[in-house]
Amino acid sequence: MNAITPAGTLVAVCAYDDLVPDLGVAALVDGRQVAIFRLADGSVHAVQNLCPFSGAHVMSRGITGSRGEVPTIASPVYKQVFSLITGECLATMDKQPAPGLDPNLATYPVTLDNGQVNICLPDAA
Ligand code: FES
């Protein structure tokens, strides 16, 4: 069941135990492709699955890592590096995003509830 909050809609996506540490998965959440990562520290992060630089829905196949304290995901296509916290593109690898795409990733708040992973989708403006 989905819960409506002032900021958005919480959508249950999977069980926490279904997520393999450091291996991303893609979920179709209310028509949106979301890449979900459970990190070695147990935290879960969700970003758009669309890679802004290749224009392909591949972020869930990216490589997890870190820059200092910031957990990151590197695109499997051109290896751009993004913060899993803010979605900010930290390394463009001297490339431009595909036409019309923002270089940064959308991020989605994740909550854990009794072993269930929920993602908050912002309400359409
Ligand atoms: S429910 Fe908290 S940001 Fe969406």
- Measured in degrees and rounded to the nearest 5, phi and psi for residue 47 equal -135, 170
Tell me how far apart the alpha carbons of residues 70 and 102 are, in angstroms, rounded to a whole number.
Answer: 20
User: Which tokens in the block code for residue 79?
Assistant: 């290896």
Tell me how far apart the alpha carbons of residues 71 and 68 are, in angstroms, rounded to a whole number.
Answer: 8
Atom of ligand 1 nearest to the CA of 6: 1
What pLDDT is recorded for position 1? 54
Taking only the tens place, the pLDDT of each residue in 51-109 is: 999 999 999 999 999 999 999 999 999 999 999 999 999 999 999 999 999 999 999 99
Higher model confidence: residue 36 or residue 123? 36
Strand partners, 61: none
Q: Is the predicted pLDDT of residue 123 greater than 90, yes or no?
A: no
Q: What is the pTM of this model?
A: 0.91
2 lines ligand 1 (CB under 6 A): no
8 lines ligand 1 (CB under 6 A): yes
Q: How confident is the model at residue 122 (pLDDT cuts 50, 70, 90)?
A: confident
User: How much distance in Å is there from the Cα of 6 to the middle of ligand 1?
Assistant: 7
Higher model confidence: residue 37 or residue 125? 37
CA angle 102, 39, 64 (to 5 degrees): 50
89 lines ligand 1 (CB under 6 A): no
User: How much distance in Å is there from the Cα of 108 to the middle of ligand 1?
Assistant: 8
Tell me how far apart the alpha carbons of residues 125 and 120 are, in angstroms, rounded to a whole number.
Answer: 15
Tell me how far apart the alpha carbons of residues 83 and 99 are, in angstroms, rounded to a whole number.
Answer: 21
Mean pLDDT score across all residues of the chain: 94
Tell me how far apart the alpha carbons of residues 13 and 116 are, in angstroms, rounded to a whole number.
Answer: 8
